Amino acid sequence: MKKLIAKKFEKNDETMTLILEEVIDEQLALELKDGERMLVDSDQLAFIYILEDSTQFYYVTIPQELWKDLADIHRQEQRVDVKLTDQVTVELKALHHELSFLLENIAGNGNYGEELEKVVTSEFML
């Protein structure tokens, strides 16, 4: 498992592009595909979107600092791509479905931790 940290969203036409903190090898970027799953890291207060190649998973970590933007994007159901290199992006096709599922499960559920529940409720106006 490799962790990729998102640093910001950029608007490109009708698409929102998730920009990563680090540069990814071009060959690896070409091999990565949408894992169509999301997780929650309640310790780090982050949503994690999964990318994968033929051998392992890559966790695209969306930290709390980006949740306000993520909430706006989610409400507007905008397409989101993650930029892996200057030439390679991957559409996060299941982002809205997966995020909706997680938000429904987090609201009122102490199993994710009180702090995560509180922040998610506030940022996503649940």
Specify the amino acid at residue 91: E
The model's pTM is: 0.94
6 and 59 Cβ atoms separated by less than 8 Å: no
Measured over the CA atoms of residue 113, residue 118, residue 124 and residue 126, the dihedral's sign is positive
pLDDT in tens for each of the 126 residues of the chain?
899 999 999 998 889 999 999 989 999 999 999 999 999 999 999 999 999 999 999 999 999 999 999 999 999 999 999 999 999 999 999 999 999 999 999 988 888 999 999 999 999 987
Give the pairing of strands 57-63 and 2-12: parallel
Q: At what angle do helices 67-76 and 114-123 cross, to 10 degrees?
A: 50
43 and 61 Cβ atoms separated by less than 8 Å: no
